[in-house]
Amino acid sequence: MFFRRAVVVVTIAVIAASFQVPAEAGRYTPRPGVTYNSPVGSPAQKDKIYDKILRSIRSTPRRHDIRIMSWNIQSRAAVRSLLRAQRRGVRVRVLMSRSNAAAIDNTSWARLRRGLKNGNANRRESRHSWARTCSSSCRGRSGAAHAKYFLFSRSGRARQVVIHGSANLTEASTNNQWNDVLTTVNREARYRFFVSVFHQMAKDRPVPSPYTALNQGRDRFFFFPGPDRDPVMALLNKVRCRGAANTKSHRTRLLIAPDVLREERGMRLGRKVWRLWQNGCDVRIGYTVMGVTVGRMLRRPGQRGRGVPMRHLVQDLNGDGMFDRYFHLKAMSIKGHVGLDRSNWVTLNGSSNWSSRAYRSDENLGVHWRKGMTRRYERHLDYWFSWPGFAQNDRARMSASMSQAAIDEGRMVDGLLFGTGPINGVDPYANVDMD
């Protein structure tokens, strides 16, 4: 009798074990919509985006695909999850900028690349997994592989999952940065569009037309490099400052968080924003990095008597002169008179900074004509633009000893020299991703 019971118990245990991996892979289903994180919040708030990506990886079942493009990958937990996904039969393919494999000691990336290669043993070639890098932009001739998107043929009960925005697959994206991502599910054309660009990027060679777009009514998606068309400028050109029917002031309202605003393209976009402000639009800019020449132009007074209102969204936690936390979104919300509609709501999000380098790089960008989404971005940006934890720019830190050549080259940000020559031995942007 005891022997029979033991056999039954063992049999049940074996059956349960045989179903353990598929059950684990189906516990979580990524929800569509916008997700933000905050590095000053609780652990759950810090990890909101990171956790969503990791749980989506862990919920991808066998015979399905994970494709990831991230400018940087530095996460032991993500590497473990990706290697486990491969072991349960998922095809895992990952792209990253070569600079983050060669210029830094990236042990996470080395382990991922080695582990995926070893895991291909006894698998047919069409199901091989890999981790590759691009020397500059994967599809262009210069710039960087700066896009950030995560694709899952299935995760939990959702199919054709696309997650894209400003967040890299790094621990810094949770502990040091404010980020955003947009998730969509069960949208076949959108998913295939991202997959087709991923296939191009995986070849790491220039394509004849790297600028490509998908128009899906209220949602439009763009991939750079350009060089002749700028969807950000095209959107700003549609803005009319007066006659808005959905704002109390009847002025169109723009909240702009480009992270980086510099170089020739940053100047072009900045001049357009300055003109919109002077023409009567309500504008606020929150930024991390700004070329000093762009900053001077935006602060220049005009017919409204002053320049564009701006806020430097950085934190120096220990007073060592280096910024430790910073706004990494590349987003904009517009409410008001846009195009022919006086009650429009538009959101821009993605991986692209407002810089010339960004327009030479692989970047993903979304423009969404949606009221609910724009309201969410507007509330989010309003809150953080007014958050007291961001100290206003300290003009006293301006160095009178800076050369005019350094200023003209745009190597200064609010008077602080970055990249090639720190002030008083301290580079405030040493911990910041400059592009």
pLDDT in tens, the chain (435 residues): 434 444 444 444 433 333 333 434 558 999 999 999 999 989 999 999 999 999 999 999 999 999 999 999 999 999 999 999 999 999 999 999 999 998 788 999 999 999 999 999 999 999 999 999 999 999 999 999 999 999 999 999 999 999 999 999 999 999 999 999 999 999 999 999 999 999 999 999 999 989 999 999 999 999 998 767 899 999 999 999 999 999 999 999 999 999 999 999 999 999 999 999 999 999 999 999 999 899 999 999 999 999 999 999 999 888 787 889 999 999 999 999 999 999 999 999 999 999 999 999 999 999 999 999 999 999 999 999 999 998 654 433 333 333 444 444 444 444 444 433 455 567 778 888 766
CA gap 98, 73 in Å, rounded: 11
Determine the pLDDT at residue 406. 44
Paired with 95 in beta bridges are: 69, 132
Neighbours of 264 (CB within 10 A): 13
Domain-wise residue ranges, the chain: 30-209, 215-417
Say which DSSP state 396 is in. Answer: G
What CA–CA distance (Å, rounded) separates 327 from 312? 9
State the Cα–Cα distance between residues 431 and 247, nearest whole angstrom.
Answer: 39
List the beta bridge partners of residue 97.
Answer: 134
Q: How many other C-beta atoms are found inside a 10 Å radius of the C-beta of residue 12?
A: 10
CA distance 59 to 48: 16
Report how far residue 430's alpha carbon sits from residue 46's, in angstroms, rounded to the nearest whole number: 22
First to last CA, the chain: 71
CA 115 to chain centre: 26
Are 30-209 and 215-417 equal in CATH topology? yes
Residues belonging to the chain: 435
Quick one: DSSP state of residue 251? B
Which architecture does CATH list for 215-417?
2-Layer Sandwich (3.30)
Beta bridge partner(s), residue 223: 212, 364
Contact status, residue 82 vs residue 116, Cβ threshold 8 Å: yes
Query: 71 with 350: CB under 8 angstroms?
Result: no
**Rg value, the chain, Cα:** 23
Position 204 scores a pLDDT of 97
Closest-CA residue to 37 (of 24, 48, 27) = 48
How many Cα atoms are found within 13 Å in the side-chain-facing hemisphere of 397?
17
- Strand bridging mode 314-315 / 310-312: unpaired
Q: Tell me, what amino acid is at 223?
A: F
Q: Give me the pLDDT at residue 132, please.
A: 98
pTM of the predicted model, to two decimals? 0.89
Q: Tell me whether the omega of the peptide bond preceding residue 225 falls within 30 degrees of 0, making it cis.
A: yes
- Which option is the CATH number for 30-209: 3.30.870.10, 3.60.20.10, 1.10.3720.10, 3.40.50.300? 3.30.870.10
Distance CA 308, CA 271 (A): 10
> Quick one: pLDDT at residue 26?
55
Give the E-state strand segments of 120-279 in sequence order: 130-134, 148-155, 158-165, 169-170, 177-178, 180-184, 212-216, 219-223, 253-261
* SS3 call for 248: coil
The structure tokens 């295939």 sit at 192
Q: Give the count of beta carbons closer than 10 Å to the beta carbon of residue 193.
A: 18
> According to the model, what pLDDT value does residue 21 have?
38
Q: Which two tokens stand for residue 333?
A: 């919300």
Place of tokens 């309500």: 282
| Helices (H), ranges, 153-238 | 172-175, 188-202, 231-236
Q: Residue 112's closest CA among 127, 133, 89?
A: 133
Count of Cβ atoms closer than 10 Å to residue 33 Cβ: 13
CB 183 within 8 A of CB 35: yes
